[in-house]
Structure 1
Amino acid sequence: MSEKLKQVIIYTDGACTGNPGAGGYGAVLIYGEHRQEISGGYKRTTNNRMEMMAAIAALQSLKQQCIVTLHSDSKYVVDAVMKGWARKWQANGWKRNKKEKAKNPDLWQKLLDLCDQHQVEFVWVKGHAGIPENERCDTLAVAAARQPDLPKDVGYI
């Protein structure tokens, strides 16, 4: 008999002080009455990479397979997953078309792998629109980007 999967709600956000620049990500995970906040940052990265890292870090923190509703204010992340673009890029050797390479293939691969481990639906939310959890993620991401001695984002070239 299979165990019923936990339903987790996740909010994520990324921030960058310059693009590229120092960046941070934040995520709020909610399961029933439980709430967890995570954040981190890198010394030189991009806003899109931090948006992706927020989702990756949140999904990596799950200890078992879950049903996830992940809210992000990044159309880049939400549309690439929900409209199947990232899977097409992956199938085409990380190319968007015959001439153009897909950006951030390292993070797309991680994110798609995590989506294979969990049942994830990505939902776009308007940023800076007063959604408490989204605002909290922004606060976490900005604070993370401002930390001293941030590590290098080895995937950013």
Structure 2
Amino acid sequence: MLRRLLVFLVHPCFLPSSGGNGNMFYAVRNGRRTGVYHSWEECKEQVNKYQNASFKKFSTEEDAWDFVNGESSQSASDYAVVYTDGCCSSNGRHKARAGTGVYWGPAHPLNSSERLPGRQTNQRAEIHAACKAIEQAKSQDIKKLAIYTDSKFTINGITNWVPNWQRNGWRTSTGKEVINKEDFERLAKLSEGMDIQWMHVPGHSGFQGNEAADHLARKGAGKAL
């Protein structure tokens, strides 16, 4: 208990923040700064783009600190981690070939490499890679999922744009039809009932999971429709 108190005192960022999310506690075991945080945004600052980050969400602060200190807890509600990527050679051209990659880990049975059906574009491939990961998670009864992707387009789309598009009858702020409407509709539908943390990771920057997902996506693009 004394150790926990000392850590709490020396790190002011661990103090309860205004506007937190109630009774949930976010524990970071491996990140820029380990400790217990009172909101997902604070936790995200410590784990986003951090190689091999380890974090979990708890309903009690005691369980959260147990996780930080390496002690086991029966009430841990950790997130399964998956990397997704989409690619498209000759993007925007007649002979474009797009593929999706989903990477769960070395030699993992759920690792996926597929050719993108339908319109061949990089953005569609990124969205469908995320859809595939969520489908796989649901098949394994995974409810909490951290999706790492280098596609800011996908992240911004599902977290910011889709709610606005839905309110506007699936039209943009300028009144135009949403180009990837069907793809985002599918992603939004699959996301229902899931606790998903969308994590951006820079592409081609040495992150093993992202590089592996990219390899799977490129392999998928080479497959026949």
Fold shared by both chains (TM-score > 0.5): yes
Aligned-pair Cα RMSD in Å: 2.0
Give the Cα–Cα distance (whole angstroms) in 1 for the partners of residues 208 and 113 of structure 2: 16
Aligned to 1:130: 206
The amino acid across from 2:146 in the alignment is T
Aligned to 1:154: none
Aligned to 1:155: none
Report Cα offsets for 1:5-36 as digits up to 9, x if no partner.
66311110000011131100101125xxx663
Structure number with greater Rg is 2
Paired residues for 1:61-72 under 5 Å: 61-62=136-137, 63=139, 64-72=141-149
Aligned to 2:22: none
Paired residues for 1:136-155 under 5 Å: 136-147=212-223, 149-150=224-225
Out of 51, 74, 99, the position equivalent to 2:175 is 99
TM-score for both structures, normalised by structure 1: 0.82
Given that 1:26 and 1:141 are in contact with CA atoms closer than 8 Å, whether structure 2 keeps it comes out as yes
Given that 1:39 and 1:54 are in contact with CA atoms closer than 8 Å, whether structure 2 keeps it comes out as no
Q: Whose strand proportion is higher, 1 or 2?
A: 1
Report Cα offsets for 1:87-142 as digits up to 9, x if no partner.
21122121112422112111101111122121011111100000001000100001
Tell me the SS of whatever aligns to 2:198: strand
Given that 1:68 and 1:120 are in contact with CA atoms closer than 8 Å, whether structure 2 keeps it comes out as yes
- Specify every segment of 5 or more residues in structure 2 that has no aligned partner in the other structure, as ranges: 1-74
Given that 1:81 and 1:122 are in contact with CA atoms closer than 8 Å, whether structure 2 keeps it comes out as no
Tell me the SS of whatever aligns to 2:145: strand
Give the Cα–Cα distance (whole angstroms) in 1 for the partners of residues 134 and 77 of structure 2: 14
Aligned to 2:115: 41
Give the Cα–Cα distance (whole angstroms) in 2 for the partners of residues 38 and 138 of structure 1: 11
Q: Percent identity?
A: 29
The amino acid across from 1:16 in the alignment is C
Aligned to 2:134: 59
Aligned to 2:153: 76
Provide runs of 4+ in structure 1 moved above 2 Å: 3-7
Given that 1:69 and 1:120 are in contact with CA atoms closer than 8 Å, whether structure 2 keeps it comes out as yes
Give the Cα–Cα distance (whole angstroms) in 1 for the partners of residues 200 and 76 of structure 2: 26
Report Cα offsets for 1:40-90 as digits up to 9, x if no partner.
1136510000000100011011222511110110010112223x2112112
Tell me the number of residue pairs that the alignment of Structure 1 and Structure 2 aligns: 143
TM-score for both structures, normalised by structure 2: 0.59
Paired residues for 1:103-118 under 5 Å: 103-118=179-194
Question: Which is bigger in relative contact order (C-alpha 8 A, separation at least 6)?
Answer: 1
The amino acid across from 1:76 in the alignment is F
Given that 1:13 and 1:137 are in contact with CA atoms closer than 8 Å, whether structure 2 keeps it comes out as yes
